Structure 1
Amino acid sequence: MDRLSGLDASFLYLEDNAQLMHVCGLIVIDPTTIPGGYSFEAFKTELGRRVRPIPMFHRKLKFVPGRLDHPVWVEDVDFDIERQVHRVALPAPGGRDELSELAGHIAGLPLDRTRPLWEMWVIEGLESGHMAVMSKMHHASVDGVSGANMISYLCSLEPDAPPLDPGATAGASMRVPGDGELIARAVGNTLAKPVNFVKMLAPTAAILVTSARRASEGKAMAAPLTAPRTSFNGNITGHRSIAYTKMSLAKIKEIRHAVEGATVNDVVLAVSGGALRRYLEERGELPTTSLLATVPVSVRSESEGGGSNKVSSLFTRLRTDLEDPAERIQEIAKSNVNAKEHHAAIPADTLQDWAQFAAPRVFGLATRAVSSFRLADRGPVIHNLVISNVPGPPVPLYFMGGRIEALYPLGPIFHGAGLNITVMSNNGIMDVGIIACQELMPRAWDLADSFPEELEAMHKAIVG
């Protein structure tokens, strides 16, 4: 038994039929490298064998009676790989439009909470001769980094080599507690909440004072609720549009080295800002003020709190108000120095500590209110979108023996921010995954196709 942290559980409480809290990955594979050739049955059998030593893949939720406390993870004694892995074929001609449409449909399907909170869809019939695997993992179970790690544990460095060592993720199965034990634990945790709340007040007050001082000095990160409204900022539905593209990691690094103080993430944000500027400008929708992005930050090495999610966030302006790509990257690099210093001044466990007070009924009522009354369609915009940068493998990897040609990460979207851009480095390439609410951004390809163009323009302006 393993109790969910407040942050992990909050992703369950925030979920509704439109706001689905799972993270996805679209893995494109060359099946010609699979020893003995590809067959779905052999693929599924091998996958079942590989997930067995890793508890995350065969655990499920058990809720506390009366929802008195956060749920716990328990062993799924009826685990069946047949329920987790599905097979589907693309309609002809099996190009990018057909693949993205199918991936969008799969991304819009909720996970079954009575089973382990993950599934994989094996997609055949790509016109390239490749195959694809669409993975889905609930955010209550993984964040971006841990999700990528879980996928990597199913991979190998050679087609016929054993999978990577799961290390600390392997272990004994989790027992299933009785309702009486869960209620007793819940009562104990509830009684401790007032004391823990009081303990949080002093450090939180110090954080607020520090933030106010940095703001007065012009050294704070960008503030939420100051974002301009765009066509993808509003109430979302359960329908998803997906697109993807690739960028040269070498060119991104060349830009980084040419701009003083810049990081790879700064370049990614600047390119994203330029691509979004192109997208909005072509539609006559470009705001005069800059778009504001939430950027998840992994605190995995710093945080000692429990839970699968070890993440915090910072807010940053993408300088979509600047046409010159060179000026944009320079301004983003400069402002992000302040944002990172501000973020570093906030203890890594702060978000996780406050999330312990997350109440399922309160979160559920709030989510339903936002959806039912369409509150995200009016009023201040908290942020325009989420942009994540997840480190990936620097060398070729093989998934079930098939060489990974691309790994496009796809994060969740939210009421009020119906767009998510996630990038992952992959053997010298930066794979870009874009997911949006279909009603708010029907053609995500229009945005995806702007990324390589913007990278080229920035590289030319900075490097020459």
Structure 2
Amino acid sequence: MDRLSGLDASFLYLETPEQLMHVCGLIVLDPSTIPGGYAFPAVRAQIDRRVRDVPAFNRKLRKVPLRLDHPIWVQDTHFDIDRHVHRLALPAPGGYDELVELTSHLAGIPLDRSRPLWQMWVIEGYEGDQVAVFLKMHHATVDGVSGANLISHLCTLEPDTPPDEAGEPQATEREPGELELVGRALVRNLSLPVAAVKLLSPSVALVTGTVDRARRGIAMAAPFSAPRTMFNGTITGHRTIGFGDLDLDTIKRVKNATGTTVNDVVLTVAGGALRSYLEHLGELPATSLLATVPVSVRGASRHVGGANKVSALFAKLGTDVEDPLARLEALAEHSRHAKDHHNAISADALQDWAEFAAPRTFGLAVRAYAALRLAERHPVVHNLVISNVPGPPVPLYFMGARVRALYPLGPVFHGAGLNISVMSQAGDVHVGVIACRESLPDVAGLVRRFPEELARLAREVEGRALSDPPAGAGPGSR
């Protein structure tokens, strides 16, 4: 029996028809590298073969009676690839706009919880000869790192690598009976007060440490300190998507010249793009936007089970700073404080407290929160989520087709209707933006500002390097 962790289950409880808790990936492919040429039946057959031995692709949810505990995963004994992999074609002219419109619609459709929680659409006719794959998986099954690993499992390093040999059929695990599930749930619920007591002491120490850090000016940015923007209200179930590319070499040049990190540069570019976008609309707040940045804790967590191994930190994006280089320098300093603060927090703090999420009351609370539009009544917790997931540095092939781009797309929330996700792959940085359509209808206007802001930042860095004299240079030097 594989019980969902509290954090995994929380993504189920957070889900409503408007607040969909799946993550998506858009993969753009060059099918000309497929040995023997592209044919959808052959691609589907290979996908079927590759997902058979991966639990995330062939297990489904089973509720505990009376919702006394988090659900469990059970094997789908009637797994059918035709229920998960679908074929579509873009209408003419089959360009960026048509792909964005189609994938935005697909992103707004909830997953069927009676089946394994994933769907894939193979979309033909993108920009003539390209194929796009749109993959959707529930956040209860993956986080950013595990999602990237699952995509890598579907890929190879060479176009002609033969598919894995079919192994022995998976043995069907014994499913526990209703009484066994109830008994396990009751035992666990009886242990919760003891677990809560154990968490109180480190939690009090965390609060005390945070207050001390804030007093000394070295704490990470605080939640509920974000300015209100057009995308910080109650969301609908409609989604709009945009995607673009950044040059990884340019990002690394900026990083090396300034002594910062790739993540610092990415956040600075995002801050600049958001500043330019909101200023163009006449809606730029006087204070900086605040982003939640997910952080993987896979190497530090003591928990064995669970798909989500994440924590989070808060970062100001410097949208109140016009100069991109000054924004980068300020953001890098804030990031160092935020990382030090985050490292002082237990890697398992979020996962431990998530175990107390009650299945029934948690879901009711989320629905009441949305119905009462409370996101518009209290101070803004954060403006958006920005996720940066490192991808493979080498070219990949999806069922023999060269992967030209891989755009990640995360969920949006009531109160934060914008998500920016970034993934590096084979020398490029791919930016995926998803938003509530009513909150941010012109996502394309935001996406196209990312390469512009990176170029602007690079020019500022190069200009400073040219204006600064070499060490030891000065009047009379030779």
- The alignment's TM-score, normalised by the length of structure 1, stands at 0.97
Quote how far apart the aligned CAs of 1:127 are. 2.1
- Could you say which residue in structure 1 is the equivalent of 2:254? 255
Moved more, 363-372 or 222-231: 363-372
Which residues of 2 match residues 224-373 of structure 1 at below 5 A?
224-260=223-259, 262-305=260-303, 306-373=305-372
- Could you say which residue in structure 1 is the equivalent of 2:176? 177
Contact kept in structure 2, 1:156 and 1:164, CA below 8 Å: no
- Could you say which residue in structure 2 is the equivalent of 1:68? 68
1:82 aligns with 2:78: no
Deviations 1:25-73 (A, max 9, x none): 0000111111111111111111000111111110111110110000011
Contact kept in structure 2, 1:424 and 1:430, CA below 8 Å: yes
Unaligned runs of 5+ in 1: none
In the alignment, the residues of structure 1 paired with residue 132 and residue 376 of structure 2 have an alpha-carbon distance, to the nearest angstrom, of: 36
1:152 aligns with 2:120: no
In the alignment, the residues of structure 1 paired with residue 221 and residue 361 of structure 2 have an alpha-carbon distance, to the nearest angstrom, of: 28
Quote how far apart the aligned CAs of 1:298 are. 0.3
- Could you say which residue in structure 2 is the equivalent of 1:96? 96
SS in 1 for 2:126: coil
- Could you say which residue in structure 1 is the equivalent of 2:475? none
Contact kept in structure 2, 1:254 and 1:463, CA below 8 Å: no
Deviations 1:148-189 (A, max 9, x none): 100100100011114699xxxx98654322211111110111
1:55 aligns with 2:31: no
Which residues of 2 match residues 338-417 of structure 1 at below 5 A?
338-417=337-416
Amino acid at match of 1:229: R
In the alignment, the residues of structure 1 paired with residue 162 and residue 279 of structure 2 have an alpha-carbon distance, to the nearest angstrom, of: 49
1:105 aligns with 2:105: yes
**TM-aligned CA distance change 1:172 to 1:207, over 3 Å:** farther
Contact kept in structure 1, 2:231 and 2:440, CA below 8 Å: yes
- Could you say which residue in structure 2 is the equivalent of 1:459? 458
In the alignment, the residues of structure 2 paired with residue 327 and residue 59 of structure 1 have an alpha-carbon distance, to the nearest angstrom, of: 49
Which residues of 2 match residues 411-430 of structure 1 at below 5 A?
411-430=410-429
Amino acid at match of 2:264: D
SS in 1 for 2:279: helix
Quote how far apart the aligned CAs of 1:328 are. 0.3
In the alignment, the residues of structure 2 paired with residue 106 and residue 463 of structure 1 have an alpha-carbon distance, to the nearest angstrom, of: 42
Deviations 1:349-374 (A, max 9, x none): 00000000001222212211121111
1:121 aligns with 2:121: yes
- Could you say which residue in structure 2 is the equivalent of 1:213? 212
Amino acid at match of 2:429: M
Moved more, 171-180 or 224-233: 171-180
Contact kept in structure 2, 1:155 and 1:164, CA below 8 Å: no
In the alignment, the residues of structure 2 paired with residue 442 and residue 272 of structure 1 have an alpha-carbon distance, to the nearest angstrom, of: 18
Identical-residue share of aligned pairs (%): 63
Amino acid at match of 1:201: L
Quote how far apart the aligned CAs of 1:76 are. 0.5
Deviations 1:416-456 (A, max 9, x none): 00000000001000000000000011110000000000000
Deviations 1:124-164 (A, max 9, x none): 12124101000001000100110010010010001111469
Contact kept in structure 2, 1:393 and 1:427, CA below 8 Å: yes
Amino acid at match of 1:52: R
Unaligned runs of 5+ in 2: 464-478
**TM-aligned CA distance change 1:172 to 1:149, over 3 Å:** farther
SS in 2 for 1:463: helix
SS in 2 for 1:125: strand
In the alignment, the residues of structure 2 paired with residue 332 and residue 162 of structure 1 have an alpha-carbon distance, to the nearest angstrom, of: 46
In the alignment, the residues of structure 2 paired with residue 299 and residue 258 of structure 1 have an alpha-carbon distance, to the nearest angstrom, of: 29
**TM-aligned CA distance change 1:411 to 1:155, over 3 Å:** same
**TM-aligned CA distance change 1:212 to 1:56, over 3 Å:** same
In the alignment, the residues of structure 2 paired with residue 354 and residue 187 of structure 1 have an alpha-carbon distance, to the nearest angstrom, of: 19
SS in 2 for 1:453: helix
In the alignment, the residues of structure 2 paired with residue 106 and residue 164 of structure 1 have an alpha-carbon distance, to the nearest angstrom, of: 30
SS in 1 for 2:402: strand
- Could you say which residue in structure 2 is the equivalent of 1:140? 140
The structure with more radius of gyration: 2
**TM-aligned CA distance change 1:174 to 1:206, over 3 Å:** farther
Deviations 1:71-115 (A, max 9, x none): 011110010101011111111111101101101100000000000
Amino acid at match of 2:129: G
- Could you say which residue in structure 1 is the equivalent of 2:35? 35
In the alignment, the residues of structure 1 paired with residue 162 and residue 266 of structure 2 have an alpha-carbon distance, to the nearest angstrom, of: 34
In the alignment, the residues of structure 2 paired with residue 379 and residue 212 of structure 1 have an alpha-carbon distance, to the nearest angstrom, of: 22
SS in 2 for 1:9: helix
Amino acid at match of 2:368: A
In the alignment, the residues of structure 1 paired with residue 302 and residue 401 of structure 2 have an alpha-carbon distance, to the nearest angstrom, of: 36
SS in 2 for 1:331: helix
Deviations 1:287-343 (A, max 9, x none): 000000000000011102121000000001000000000000000001111000000
Amino acid at match of 1:56: A
Give the superposed CA RMSD.
1.3
SS in 2 for 1:425: strand
Contact kept in structure 2, 1:153 and 1:163, CA below 8 Å: no
Contact kept in structure 2, 1:29 and 1:405, CA below 8 Å: yes
- Could you say which residue in structure 2 is the equivalent of 1:191? 190
- The alignment's TM-score, normalised by the length of structure 2, stands at 0.94
In the alignment, the residues of structure 1 paired with residue 360 and residue 59 of structure 2 have an alpha-carbon distance, to the nearest angstrom, of: 24
Amino acid at match of 2:347: A
Contact kept in structure 1, 2:157 and 2:396, CA below 8 Å: yes
